[in-house]
Amino acid sequence: MSLIIRIPNSKPLIISSSVNNSVHTLMQAIEMKTGISPSKQRLLHGSKRLAPGNLLCDHSIRDLSTIDMSFALLGGWTLWFRIKNQPRLPIVVTDSTTLGETKNLIATQYNIQVEHIATILFHGVPLRDDSKKMEDLGLQNEEVTIILRLPHPPPFSEEEPAPK
């Protein structure tokens, strides 16, 4: 299939690919034609960022789909998160920040014990692999929801008998 790649300040580029290729493979094909390394590319289809680890078919890309390319910014970006119904809170991360590092940043900056961060949800889907980088998860200037596992006292202490 042929894909139309729109690059800022440049003519559109036509790349041949297969729906079963990864986004990273497409990025490498773009690098071969433009010299722009995959680490500097941000690919979007239908206003959604394409995660390098996903397949093109995961993003509903078909023959003659148009993919917009922008350039990665140096420095970090703000990941917004919520704890239950609290206001949004910011944390600055980079594309190479892992999920585990993000949890540690949140814990440090907001005085939360990292073991109390039970789940991080992105569009209702739990993010579980702490070794995954933000770019692999497709997160950039996004909002996530944090579910905390807060400690609570046991229903009764050893001195008190259990209710009958």
Asked if the structure places residue 21 within a domain, the reply is yes
Number of H helices, E strands in the chain: 3, 10
Looking at the structure of the chain, the number of domains it has is 2
Q: Which of residues 39, 71, 103 is at a domain's end?
A: 71
pLDDT in tens, 90-129: 888 887 888 888 888 888 888 888 888 877 877 778 888 8
pLDDT, position 163: 53
Query: Are residues 29 and 18 in contact, defined by beta-carbon separation less than 8 angstroms?
Result: no
pLDDT in tens, 44-103: 898 788 888 899 999 999 999 999 988 765 566 777 777 767 777 888 888 788 888 888
pLDDT, position 4: 96
Please tell me which residue, 20 or 154, carries the higher pLDDT value. 20
Nearest in space to 123 (alpha carbons), one of 30, 24, 26, 51: 51
Domain extent for 112: 77-148
Integer-rounded Cα Rg, in Å, for the chain is: 21
Asked if the structure places residue 55 within a domain, the reply is yes
Strand order in the sheet with 89-93: 89-93, 77-83, 143-148, 117-122, 125-127
Residue 26 has pLDDT above 80, yes or no: yes
Q: Which of residues 55, 71, 87 is at a domain's end?
A: 71
The residues, any chain, with a CB within 8 Å of residue 136's CB and separated by 6 or more, are 51, 52, 53
Residue 134 has pLDDT above 50, yes or no: yes
pTM: 0.49
Asked if the structure places residue 24 within a domain, the reply is yes
The residues, any chain, with a CB within 8 Å of residue 14's CB and separated by 6 or more, are 2, 3, 4, 5
Same domain, 58 and 113: no
Asked if the structure places residue 159 within a domain, the reply is no
Please tell me which residue, 138 or 63, carries the higher pLDDT value. 63
pLDDT, position 1: 95
Q: How far apart are the C-alpha atoms of 55 and 50, rounded to whole Å?
A: 9
Q: Which of residues 71, 96, 128 is at a domain's end?
A: 71
CATH of the domain at 144: 3.10.20.90
Asked if the structure places residue 38 within a domain, the reply is yes
Asked if the structure places residue 163 within a domain, the reply is no
Mean pLDDT of 147-159: 54
